[in-house]
Amino acid sequence: MVLTTFVAAEPSLPAVAGPADPEPASLVTLTVPDRAALERLVGSGADLTGRVRPQPDGSIRVDAVVTPSGLAELRPLGATLATGTPAPAPEDRGGTKDRIVVERAVWFQSRDGYFLSVEASSSAGADAALTVTWKGKGGATGQVEMVPYVDAGAYLGHQFSVPVPAGVRPDRVTITSAAGGVAEARVGEWPDGERPDRDRPGYQKDFITQYMPPAQLNARVKDLHRRFPALTEIIELPHLTNGYRRHAQALIGTPPGAAVVVTSRAYGSEGGNDLAVELSDPGAADRTLAVVVDGKQVRVSLATDGSGAPVSTAAEVAAAITGAPGSPVTAATYRTDPGAGVLAPAPLTQLSDFLGAPADVSREPWRVLALRIGTHRDGSRTGVLAYAQEHAREWVTPLVTIEAAERLLRNYPRDPATRKLLRRADIFIVPTVNPDGANYSFYDFNAQRKNMTNHCPAAQSDPALRNTWGVDVNRNYAVGSLFDGYFGASANCQSGTYAGPGEHSEPESRNVIWLAETYPNIRFALNVHSYGGYFMWPPGAYRLDGRVTLPRPSRQQEAYFLRSARTILEAIAAERGTVTWPQQTGPVTDVLYSAAGNSADELWYDHGVYGWDFEVGSDLWNPRTGAWEGVGFQPPFAEGHAEAMEFAAGLISLIGVAADYREDR
């Protein structure tokens, strides 16, 4: 397995190796001065993660995947590499006493002790400087500055940048404003949902031993069906993906002006990798440009002037190669350069698709599989859809679905609660929505987010740009999309959040919606992502002008989302004490940022499916540094394994919520 550079934040980023080589990408933490700057990053199509952390001085830190040139492009938008500790919050300059409302004050106990989280709002808005003083058992106390939360120009309240350690359980908080406002509240417990039954005799779990590329995931699905034929069936989703394949290419000459990009008409795996191109000096004066196709070789004889010097420009050679009868390749000038430079002779140059997976990794279009689990798979039970890896680099997410499937099937014979669950629910599990991108992430470029369909024109399709191609599957859906005028996706084919040429342009998104349309008993869905530790639901997008979101759920529906979430989060926490933070639990637009064209929105608004999103991989508390630390997309397997265990428990809890749906309703 070959992995390219994809590391934690560095003081500086490595340079590009050569004109045909992609820039290395790094996972870094960026600082922007305010929420407006974060919106500019989202609007630019920057490849941001879900780990967004407001700071006391009003700035925001966000993890992102960037190249050196990409970082340079983000600097004018206000982004810099994060360093050191942010400055404290500024003093409130207002002279009028403000009114403070405590929206939520909760404590939680994790494996690392007690933590406090507070959310409040001030009538003075974002200009208010709020301080929380908490008190707990034995006279323990502490003080924390709050951070204003402003999104798309709208003040949404104050909160903590991150939950703060309390040492003991906090009992009461007092919030004071520099303008004189005061509010007090008792501190409740979080998540305080229904506790799972943890001590079931003989209950089996822990079936995951490694990260798994798509072929292993499909093999696991088929093996589970073979072992449990009475409880399962395999659904072959109808839309084949592009496949782990690309056209073969070569960059010939010296960019920008004296170079051509040669591309095979066939995919590399279908003969494109066997092709080669040569530019030769005919060795005589006054010769015309000529192209000869000799089997798998394309030989270009350059034009010469009266002295015998080659005079063919890049534009002329590109046109001649493309137009040659029977040519197995096309050619274009380098990026947006007109190609006026004269090409020098070049030796026979082999084309390549630059794909590094072993030969036994299929290059063919991929048939995505869903594993259906339950004793009544006839549409009579409430359906639950769990799908993962819309984003290729999120290696933990398929493990969540496979671990959950293993637990459900292997415990059915011995565990009454599992038997009851499979009799009351109809479960659909798709471990990898985006297998092509996942293969590319495993074998070529582990920062790959998108699929492998290249919609870029020739000006954006030279080999050095190959890591920027593809469509963000979770921006390609048809509700609240970029094409509807919603914010949080990009029309730039090289962007990390490229929405594609149109809604549902990609087979990956069409497969997810096909399941919802074909099996109308599906009333619940869980889209498993990483990382950052969120639990979210619609609305997931807004229009930037006025921050107009998609219609919010009714108060009753919102209460159901939240009540269900608290129960599911209890199941996650029961595994190893990981608590999803309260300020990261809620509608996407409230707790993260706008994500135009995401799948949960389409499932909710068009199909009435309660659509949730996990962002597995919560921050880990480091008692040595006294700070929360991010885990990344591909943490060491010991951590990835732990995340799979806890969020599989959360998925099973969600299935239990779905099984109770009729009674709840």
Distance CA 3, CA 393 (A): 11
Task: Answer yes or no: 194 catalytic.
Answer: no
CB neighbour list of residue 117: distance below 8 Å, 6 or more residues apart: 104, 105, 106, 107, 108, 159, 160, 163, 164, 190, 581, 582, 583
What's 126-176 look like in SS3? HHCCEEEEEEEHHHCEEEEECEEEEECCEEEEEECCCCEECCCCEEEEEEE
Whether the CB-CB separation of 453 and 242 falls below 8 Å is answered with: yes
Distance CA 653, CA 568 (A): 5
Angle at 516 between CA 512 and CA 519, to 5 degrees: 130
Whether the CB-CB separation of 40 and 77 falls below 8 Å is answered with: yes
Whether the CB-CB separation of 247 and 268 falls below 8 Å is answered with: yes
- Name which of 455, 439, 495, 447 is nearest 472 in CA terms: 495
DSSP string, 365-429: PP--EEEEE-S--SS-SEEEEEEE-SSTT-THHHHHHHHHHHHHHHHTTT-HHHHHHHHHEEEEE
Distance CA 433, CA 20 (A): 30
Q: What share of the chain is helix, strand, coil (3-state, %, to 5)?
A: 25, 30, 45
Distance CA 481, CA 503 (A): 8
- Catalytic annotation, pick one of 119, 406, 615, 643: 615
8-state DSSP, 435: H
Alpha-carbon torsion (460, 463, 464, 470), positive or negative: positive
Burial (CB < 10 A; 0-12, 13-18, 19+), residue 460, is middle
**What 3-state DSSP class applies to 572?**
helix
CB atoms closer than 10 angstroms to residue 374: 24
- Ramachandran bin of 531, using left for φ above 0, alpha for ψ from -120 to 50, beta for the remaining angles: beta
Distance CA 252, CA 262 (A): 8
Distance CA 481, CA 390 (A): 16
**In the structure encoding, which two tokens stand for residue 488, read together?**
């949080």
List the 182-186 sheet strands across, edge first: 141-145, 130-136, 170-177, 182-186
CB neighbour list of residue 413: distance below 8 Å, 6 or more residues apart: none
Whether the CB-CB separation of 97 and 180 falls below 8 Å is answered with: yes
Q: Please identify every residue annotated as catalytic.
A: 615
